[in-house]
Amino acid sequence: MSNENFKKLYIDELKDLYSAENQLVKALPKMAKAASSEELREGYEAHLEQTKGQVQRLETIFQSLNESPKGKKCVAMEGLVKEGSEVMEEDFENAVLDAALIGAAQRVEHYEIAAYGTVHAFAEVLGETEHASLLEKTLQEEKQTDEKLTKLAKQINAQANEAASPQGGEQDVVKPGRRAPKRAA
Ligand code: FE
Ligand code: FE
Ligand code: FE
């Protein structure tokens, strides 16, 4: 017989994630739009589709628990999304903005990795093996996304550093796979 309070904690943490993922469904298109690297933009778009699937996995879990997924707001994700909007408001040129967007996105993925790691461990202790396998799938997607961002950052940070060079004057050079800077329009 498991502790009712532990079960309640499990459900609360799932609700927190449900709120977090839904906030991301709204935020990811904005981040995709702000990205100037095509690869980064496509990465956001692909993760948006994955995120919608992650919302569905949580809904499946809530259905099996006979619980509503609603009723909690993930304030951490609210803060992370806000920080992401802050970097978009800065006057950064393309590669520098992309570097900032990657930093914001990796903060989000790390939060999700921690949270899914926690609920996955809870599901296992509670004997919820179906939930555990669904949560594990999402956890792997978040980890893969984080790894992709790390790889992309290597290339984009180098470009950002070039563009920032005072003698470079390369800010307006459109590199292959990169859209023209917005201010040139
Ligand atoms: Fe997610
Ligand atoms: Fe949260
Ligand atoms: Fe994610």
**What is the reported pLDDT for 2?**
73
Calculate how far, in angstroms, residue 168's C-alpha sits from the geometric centre of ligand 3: 35
CATH topology of domain 3-166: Ferritin (1.20.1260)
Calpha distance 125→176 (Å, rounded): 50
Q: In this predicted model, what pLDDT tens digit does every residue of 97-124 receive, in sequence order?
A: 999 999 999 999 999 999 999 999 999 9
Calculate how far, in angstroms, residue 157's C-alpha sits from the geometric centre of ligand 3: 21
Residues 6+ apart with CB under 8 A from 165: none
pLDDT band at 184 (very low <50, low <70, confident <90, very high): very low
Calculate how far, in angstroms, residue 138's C-alpha sits from the geometric centre of ligand 1: 7
Give the mean model confidence (pLDDT) for residues 153-178: 69
Give the end-to-end CA distance of the chain in Å, rounded to a whole number.
65
Residues 6+ apart with CB under 8 A from 148: 43
Calculate how far, in angstroms, residue 58's C-alpha sits from the geometric centre of ligand 1: 10
User: What residue ranges do the domains of the chain occupy?
Assistant: 3-166
* Token couple for 184: 């040139």
Calculate how far, in angstroms, residue 126's C-alpha sits from the geometric centre of ligand 1: 22
Calculate how far, in angstroms, residue 91's C-alpha sits from the geometric centre of ligand 1: 28
Query: What is the model's pTM?
Result: 0.88
**What is the reported pLDDT for 167?**
54
